Amino acid sequence: MSFDELQASLQQRRDADLYRVRRTLESAQGPEVRVDGRDYLGFCSNDYLGLASDPRLKQAMIEGVERFGVGGGASHLVLGHSEAHHALEQALAEFTGRPRVLLFSTGYMANLGTIGALLDKQDAVFEDRLNHASLLDGGLLSGARFQRYLHNDAASLQQRLQRTEARRKLVVSDGVFSMDGDIADLPALSRATRAEGAWLMVDDAHGFGCLGASGGGCVEQFGLDLEQVPVLIGTLGKAFGTAGAFVAGSETLIETLIQYARPYIYTTSMPPAVAWATLTSLQLVQREGWRREHLGLLIERFRSGAQRLGYQLMPSSTPIQPILIGDAGQAMAISRALEQRGIFVGAIRPPTVPAGTARLRVTLSASHSEAQVDRLLQALDEVREMLR
């Protein structure tokens, strides 16, 4: 067997300006980053509240390591479930106002595990067409009948729900759409879902920490309870600044996941020190509302500045502020021109986003200053003539 065919497919990807390469980050995550030997202002992390290198979080992590060691050592069901994991599950249950929470090692695994534990081939899953890859993959892997509905369109969802005979029906949506930054119309999705006897699962990876008065995400912002959103997913690697993910819901849901979610059962527990540090992060998320306020100001400043320069933004009020470019090659060229000016912004290309909608995905963080946002706008002004 030869690898020529793989070589050819790699070359095709290069020719289409879709080839991906990794850059090496040599500093901690933050507004100022060192990448491959050079300093940049970064606008592409998901560290929305600026907690990833907060000194109090680092201290909590050190304390966790001293108390619990480094590795989890075993899976949760085989004595890898530590006191630190347990305490974090309880704190997150209180934070989300749900009866119980289950930790997963990553958001990707939480999504695969949850959808897979709830559905099989007698069932049907309904997904927003712009859902995160892990939700789409979870739906496909579950073996359930898979349907996509129009983006954020409860009427399109309800039509599809009405036409199914499946045993269980699970509706799955991002809370904040990760590549567009818009917020799902959860009240409408919840009404449509309940009217048709289905369950709603919301993955609020980008909403937790950023939305809601105490950082409780979309469900706090819209005031949605357990009945309205029975399956709620959050991730800890974004606004919380640590790593891992959780599912919040009823006692029955969580026990079902412990029994049947394979990505929960067959993997080593997250390092307990990470759970320990996340307890501190959860307190900071709730208490330091100024981080959300400052972020809100930066979002407004960026949007009005970029629109004045003639850039096409998307309807987003969240820290995800994509600039629509269209052509993948052009998005890459502008991203490189910004890089030459000392600014790091990721270009997002198909297949992560639909063909013809390549974009610069600007993300803002509470750790950015207004002056840093102004530097980004200045650089965008300088590269403006590259827009066709």
Ligand X SMILES: *Cc1c(COP(=O)(O)O)cnc(C)c1O
Enzyme catalytic residues: 178, 206, 238
Least spacing, CB of residue 10 vs ligand X, in Å: 25
Are 172 and 159 contacting, i.e. CB atoms less than 8 angstroms apart?
no
Q: Does 269 bind ligand X (CB under 6 A)?
A: no
What's the half-sphere exposure (Cβ side, CA atoms, 13 Å) at 297?
13
Between 85 and 206, name the residue whose CB sits nearer to ligand X.
206
Are 229 and 190 contacting, i.e. CB atoms less than 8 angstroms apart?
yes
Least spacing, CB of residue 57 vs ligand X, in Å: 17
Least spacing, CB of residue 111 vs ligand X, in Å: 6
> By CB under 6 A, what part of segment 161-200 binds ligand X?
174, 178
> By CB under 6 A, what part of segment 304-363 binds ligand X?
none
> By CB under 6 A, what part of segment 217-246 binds ligand X?
235, 237, 245
Q: Are strands 231-235 and 199-203 parallel, antiparallel or unpaired?
A: parallel
Between 51 and 334, name the residue whose CB sits nearer to ligand X.
51
What residues have CB less than 8 Å from 93, skipping those under 6 apart?
99, 100, 101, 248
Q: Does 51 bind ligand X (CB under 6 A)?
A: no
Q: Does 112 bind ligand X (CB under 6 A)?
A: no
Q: Does 205 bind ligand X (CB under 6 A)?
A: yes
Residue nearest to ligand X (CB): 107
Least spacing, CB of residue 75 vs ligand X, in Å: 18
Give the N- to C-terminal CA distance of the chain in Å, as an integer. Answer: 45
Name the segment binding ligand X (CB under 6 A); options: 117-125, 155-163, 201-209, 212-220.
201-209
Q: Does 302 bind ligand X (CB under 6 A)?
A: no
Q: Does 107 bind ligand X (CB under 6 A)?
A: yes
CA angle 159, 157, 229 (to 5 degrees): 130
- Which segments of the chain does DSSP mark as H helices, in order? 4-15, 55-68, 83-96, 107-118, 133-142, 154-162, 186-195, 217-222, 251-260, 262-265, 272-287, 289-308, 328-340, 370-382
Between 202 and 328, name the residue whose CB sits nearer to ligand X.
202
Using CB under 6 A as the criterion, what x/- string covers residues 117-146 for binding ligand X? ---------------x-x------------
Q: What is the rounded distance in angstroms from the CA atom of residue 316 to the CA atom of residue 142?
A: 31
Between 134 and 363, name the residue whose CB sits nearer to ligand X.
134
Radius of gyration of the chain (CA): 21
Are 199 and 167 contacting, i.e. CB atoms less than 8 angstroms apart?
no
Least spacing, CB of residue 107 vs ligand X, in Å: 2
Q: Does 206 bind ligand X (CB under 6 A)?
A: yes
What residues have CB less than 8 Å from 304, skipping those under 6 apart?
none
Closest CA to 277 of 41, 120, 64: 64
**Residues 45, 82, 106, 193: which binds ligand X (CB under 6 A)?**
106
Q: In what order do the strands lie in the sheet with 346-348?
A: 320-326, 358-363, 346-348
Q: What is the rounded distance in angstroms from the CA atom of residue 103 to the CA atom of residue 245?
A: 6
Least spacing, CB of residue 109 vs ligand X, in Å: 7
Strands (E), 113-155: 124-128, 145-149
Name the segment binding ligand X (CB under 6 A); options: 21-29, 100-108, 142-150, 328-336.
100-108
Q: What is the rounded distance in angstroms from the CA atom of residue 42 to the CA atom of residue 20?
A: 18
Least spacing, CB of residue 172 vs ligand X, in Å: 11
Residues near ligand X (CB under 6 A) are 106-108, 111, 132, 134, 174, 178, 203, 205-206, 235, 237, 245
